[in-house]
A and B are shown apart, each in its own frame.
Chain A
């Protein structure tokens, strides 16, 4: 029972980590919290669903398709809601408010296009249950774990080793210095938002598979979870987001298994509040207060 819960928590947590990575990448480079990330995630889930149901495509192709649409949404988001604010000096709260605007716009758009009811992936995708000793693990869970951990590893490698990854980190370090060093920071910013949104969209498909439900309001709920992980891991901290996501996933699964399921959604925010009061820099952040 205990290990079963750990596996379930790990699966859930890896998707949270994927969502939080999107938040943390954008925060790292731009210093803002993208409140529309949850809605990009939700659109990704719908795109994946459509590709599997209407277009009868393979789930891997659907994930790729969702990622591409997510990236496009990211580019649009950057152009519409973030770039105009960078041209002039505005309050640091302006991007937060602006992306809140995008978030409710996208949610309501999804309600119009897809309708309010939850939709499920076809049974063929859900796959069968495998037994490893006492553990039961579905092929969907394996898929989720493989895709999210795979993407996280690729992202880490990419940030550390590649030229663009290094420019991105330089921009995150200090945007002016990066500019002086010849980094095209505008390009890096668009790329970061696109990449973060792409990851978010993939997470959307995975979560849709995990819960076997895709609905317009999932953006807000899961966006909040991602925010919780962002705070837990420390703003802009990639490693923190990965571990934070897994911790939240496991905490939630255990609170349902051994506590009350109805309070599950409060776990994330309970964690946020405790972390903010106790360690505002996040569990994995360096000793530095909120700025």
Chain B
């Protein structure tokens, strides 16, 4: 309990959750075999829209984060319709271009405060704290201070978001739609000939990926109370991609694992913190050369399940009577 109450560790776990959401966003896009480098751009739309709504319009966080998601979703639909027919490399470059255009626009608009970025975004912890003291918990409860309770609440909210998204991904994965997505990823042409409306599903997943990335952006904005255009540049796009490349993009657990490992790495290894970007680069190269499917693939998962199944069988067989 002390571990989780330490604000420093608490923050790391919160970033893990945000990165997990980002990992899920790229997983969704990749589930039809599309490599999009635009998720950082969508994340920035989510962050700016929600931050501005909270600050300027005084909207509740839930509303502003959702609005950010909707805005990014609409944007994705707008650029997705023409861009989706582009394949492979073209799509990657076009989405990279989109991210850059968003960045330059953010840099130049007055409302986004240009290169300085927006600061003073009300953080979730502070808002939760206020609400808690309004219901009479200003002196804390059960040995925890108000601040600690508020922080735990934020963490709960983030974990809940990740859990809902994971649930969503697993259910979709195991459904008729998931099967269609897997077919498109395996062989787009054959999938279309089998009667799957490839364009529809690709746009659907592109937009869903954008919405999820924007939600991550909105949540992140209300954690750190500052956002600037630099937070959503090329490096962020690469980092998001890295979650899926390291963890794997066959199953939703892959990008989650990737997000977890890559967030923890700089904290565990001091040396890794210093050479972070270099290590990221090396990971991308090494993974592509030796394990392009990522750490967790369908096969790995099947293998783990078999192992677990077997050990469970052994357990029951050793029990008497």
Chain A residues close to B by CB (< 8 Å) = 32-33, 80-81, 84-85, 90-98, 100-109, 111-112, 220, 224, 227-228, 231, 235, 260, 262-263, 265-266, 268-270, 272-273, 276-277, 280, 290-291
Contact = CB atoms under 8 A, between A and B. Distances in A.
Given A81-B288, A93-B92, A105-B281, 20 more contacts: A32-B89, A33-B93, A84-B290, A100-B238, A105-B280, A108-B278, A108-B281, A112-B278, A220-B234, A227-B93, A227-B97, A228-B97, A231-B90, A265-B104, A269-B98, A269-B100, A273-B83, A273-B97, A290-B88, A291-B87
A104 B235 contact: yes
A289 to B, nearest CB: 8
B285 interface: yes
A265 B101 CA distance: 8
A159 B157 CA distance: 61
A97 B289 contact: no
Contact of B278 (A84, A109, A235, A263): A109
A85 B88 CA distance: 17
Contact of B101 (A33, A102, A105, A269): A269
Nearest to A87: B289
Q: Which of B108, B234, B275, B283 has the most CB of A within 10 A?
A: B234
Contacts of A98: 284-285, 288-289
Interface string B80-110: 0011001111101110111011001101100
Contacts, number: 132
Given A96-B92, A104-B280, A290-B90, A276 B83 contact: yes
A84 B101 contact: no
B147 to A, nearest CB: 36
Contacts of B289: 81, 84-85, 98
A235 to B, nearest CB: 8
Nearest to A108: B277
Sort A-B residue pairs by CB-CB distance and give the 7 closest, nearest first.
A101-B284, A105-B281, A108-B277, A84-B289, A269-B97, A98-B288, A266-B104
Q: Which of B83, B98, B104, B245 has the most CB of A within 10 A?
A: B104
B285 A96 contact: no
A106 B89 CA distance: 22
Given A266-B105, A276-B86, A224 B282 contact: no
A278 B87 CA distance: 15
Interface string B60-73: 00000000000000
Nearest to B235: A104
Given A224-B96, A290-B90, A80 B285 contact: yes
Given A96-B92, A272-B97, A273-B97, A262 B285 contact: no
Q: Which of B79, B275, B277, B283 has the most CB of A within 10 A?
A: B277
A100 B95 CA distance: 15
B292 A104 contact: no
Interface string B105-132: 1011000000000000000000000000
Contacts of B282: 101, 105
B241 interface: yes
B14 interface: no
Contacts of B107: 262
Contacts of A280: 86, 90
A97 B101 contact: no
Contacts of A260: 108
Contacts of A227: 93, 96-97
B154 interface: no
Given A97-B241, A98-B289, A108-B281, A276 B87 contact: no
B292 A91 contact: yes
B35 interface: yes
Interface string B206-241: 000000000000000000000000000111001001
Contacts of B290: 84
A110 B181 CA distance: 41
Nearest to A88: B292
Nearest to A271: B97
Contacts of A101: 280-285, 288
A241 B238 CA distance: 26
Q: Which of A94, A105, A109 has the most CB of B within 10 A?
A: A105
A66 B82 CA distance: 41
A95 B89 CA distance: 10
A83 to B, nearest CB: 9
Q: Which of A100, A268, A277 has the most CB of B within 10 A?
A: A100
A270 B101 contact: yes
Nearest to B94: A276
B284 A93 contact: no
B288 A90 contact: yes
B100 A265 contact: yes
A92 B91 CA distance: 13
A185 to B, nearest CB: 20
B285 A263 contact: no
A231 B93 contact: yes
B100 A108 contact: no
Contact of B89 (A92, A108, A224, A266): A92
B27 to A, nearest CB: 15
Nearest to B276: A108
Contacts of B292: 90-91, 94
Given A97-B288, A265-B100, A272-B97, A102 B87 contact: no
Interface string B266-286: 000000000111101111110
B110 to A, nearest CB: 12
B114 to A, nearest CB: 9
A111 B292 CA distance: 28
